Structure 1
Amino acid sequence: MNRLLGLLSIILLATYAHAQPTPKIKILLLGTFHFGPTSDRGKTSFEDLFSAKRQQEIQQLTTQLARLRPDKIFIENEPDQQAHWDSVYNQYQKGTLDTTKQRNEIFQIGLRTARKAGLPRAICVDHIQQLPYDKIQAFDQRTSKDSVAQRKMAAYKLLSVPYPYPKKTKTLAGSTLNEYLLYVNSPAYDAGNRADYFVYAPSSGYDNDYTGVEFITSWYDRNAKIFTNILRQAEPTDTLHILLFGSSHMLPLRHYFQMHPYFEVVELADVLK
């Protein structure tokens, strides 16, 4: 009888433990711009990066981020570049790094926050995958002289509506760094990113030609691989992550994390109050 009760107790405890929800990992989506040279089509000039004013702003930002006590910081570089950034971080911690040559957000925000937070490294999770801009350009060139194709595309009324969102309304030059980062992480800015993928891209195609759809799926495919790289590094005991990536990545990545049962998205506006 005692053995039976003991067995039932073990089963009940195991069932109870299994039923307990896994605590969600909070993830701060910090969309940024590239501080230095970039091959991206959009670029924000940051000529005064090393001015006393801007360095003070970065000091303030990284202190705010470190106070969140993140378990991990994820940065926009491929996993095969991890050894490089580990070396840079090691030099930085030893005080032997020439920081005046580190013109990028990976160091200026990622590594500086990691050191303040006492982390062993910032983790590379990017996946390089070229988007098929060339196919859209080829489609535009091909159909620009094809009257039949133009008539067919003109019949898709919703795909011909004007651009529904305003162009950029704030500049870095006229803002503090925090103000500008809040802007590029705002719903209004994100709406413009959505338009690029869901208004413009689908208009490239007609009949059985889905050139624009290939562009959208390629973008989501790349970010799904970034998302997977993050999952490969996450641990159930983690409580908070910081994801430092170009702001245009945040549209699909936010969707992926919102769909995952063990993550809770944290918005930058809730941190930089």
Structure 2
Amino acid sequence: MRKTAQLRLSLLILVACAGPETITNSNGNVQTDSTDKVQIMLLGTFHFNQFHNAGNPASNFFSEQRQQEIAEVNQALKAFAPDMIMIEREPKTQATHDSLYQLYLNGELNPEEVENGAGEVYQLAFKLAKSLGQEKLHCVDYNESTSQGLLSSGDNIEVFQNGLQHFQQTTRGATSKFMEGQTTFMEFLYFMNKPEIVQLSHQQFYNLPAYVQNGSFKSYEGLNRSTIDTTQIGAEFIALFYERNLKIYSNILNAQVKHKGKRILLIMGQTHIGVLQNIIKNNPNYEIVSTNLYLKEKEV
């Protein structure tokens, strides 16, 4: 009896001294800490560089006004105090982005002079990471042959197309106001990350396509056409998008385990947010933090 008690005491001491290391519990779940969950905030963005127009003051994202707005967004995000910032770039480009970020830290890289420098990677991720004193960003994207315009024909294609039209009508006004300079970066990002807008884009690309059968894709470039069942073309469309996001999710998990982050900010195109939220919320080791708790509440 005494030996058993001593053994139990020894085990308790070992557990107490183990600290917040990565462990695997009896259910096979990887846990980064025995008590605390990894907090993750998913910021859905548009790709700034696709809208940037140096010839138009409202859409010149390097203008004094727009740079001030971007600084306000970064200050709001800084309050979350992320210890890892993940970006929509593939892990195979990590070394490249490490080099670019180091040049930026050293004052040797001006985003205004590089390709896609007006984009969210430079304007949000680089600037925020520097202000937080972080040594690197983390590339977690998985880029496959997916396109929102890939589904082009089939039975009930009008269900998908009508949904797309509704989605575009819902967001077009907000986008126009932003591009005309009537709303700020903060206001537009707040709008894009509202739960109902995230849900609307999620429904458009992960639900409505299932209505479409007996059709085809606009392009099969980069795809193995022989493996695609065109009688279930809508489901195939969803599967392509879902598989990509599953692989992004896997990259998130592995980057977190490697670098032991506890507060993650993921900056990703808005159409990724709904599906990633659905996947992550089923991981008992993670807690999703609402982005709009940090972005200032302003309506577009």
Deviation readout 1:1-49 (Å, 9 max, x if unpaired) = 6544311322455688879844111111100010114xxxxx6877220
| Distance in 2, Cα, partners of 1:120 & 1:103 | 21
Q: Determine if the alignment matches structure 1 residue 249 to structure 2 residue 272.
A: yes
Deviation readout 1:221-272 (Å, 9 max, x if unpaired) = 0000000001011139532100000000001111111111111111111012
Identify which of 205, 222, 232 aligns with 2:244: 222
The alpha-carbon deviation at position 66 of structure 1 amounts to 2.4
Partner of 1:10: 10
Larger radius of gyration: 1
Partner of 2:96: 84
Q: Determine if the alignment matches structure 1 residue 167 to structure 2 residue 189.
A: no
- Secondary structure of 2:40's aligned partner: strand
Q: Determine if the alignment matches structure 1 residue 96 to structure 2 residue 104.
A: no
| Distance in 2, Cα, partners of 1:135 & 1:161 | 12
Q: Select between 74-83 and 190-199 the one with higher mean Cα deviation.
A: 190-199
Partner of 1:125: 140
Flag the 1:202–1:8 CA change in 2: closer, same or farther, 3 A: closer
| Distance in 1, Cα, partners of 2:148 & 2:189 | 27
Partner of 1:25: 38
| Distance in 2, Cα, partners of 1:54 & 1:134 | 30
Structure 2: runs of 5 or more not aligned? 19-24, 27-32, 216-228
| TM-score (norm. length: structure 2) | 0.74
Flag the 1:175–1:237 CA change in 2: closer, same or farther, 3 A: same
Contact 1:132–1:215, Cα closer than 8 Å, also in 2? no
| TM-score (norm. length: structure 1) | 0.81
**1:111-190 matches, cutoff 5 A:** 111-131=126-146, 136-137=151-152, 140=153, 163=163, 166-168=169-171, 169-171=173-175, 172-173=178-179, 174-190=182-198
Partner of 2:204: 196
Contact 2:79–2:294, Cα closer than 8 Å, also in 1? no
- Give the number of the structure with larger relative contact order, counting CA–CA contacts within 8 Å between residues 6 or more apart: 1
Contact 2:52–2:59, Cα closer than 8 Å, also in 1? no
Flag the 1:265–1:131 CA change in 2: closer, same or farther, 3 A: same
Contact 1:27–1:263, Cα closer than 8 Å, also in 2? yes
The alpha-carbon deviation at position 63 of structure 1 amounts to 2.2
- Secondary structure of 1:170's aligned partner: helix
Structure 1: runs of 5 or more not aligned? 38-42, 144-149
Flag the 1:199–1:223 CA change in 2: closer, same or farther, 3 A: closer
| Distance in 2, Cα, partners of 1:129 & 1:103 | 24
- Secondary structure of 1:167's aligned partner: helix
Query: What is the root-mean-square deviation of aligned Cα atoms in Å?
Result: 3.1
Partner of 2:289: 266
Contact 2:52–2:118, Cα closer than 8 Å, also in 1? no
Flag the 1:51–1:202 CA change in 2: closer, same or farther, 3 A: same
Deviation readout 1:47-70 (Å, 9 max, x if unpaired) = 220111110111122122223221
What percentage of aligned pairs have identical amino acids? Answer: 28
Count of aligned positions = 253
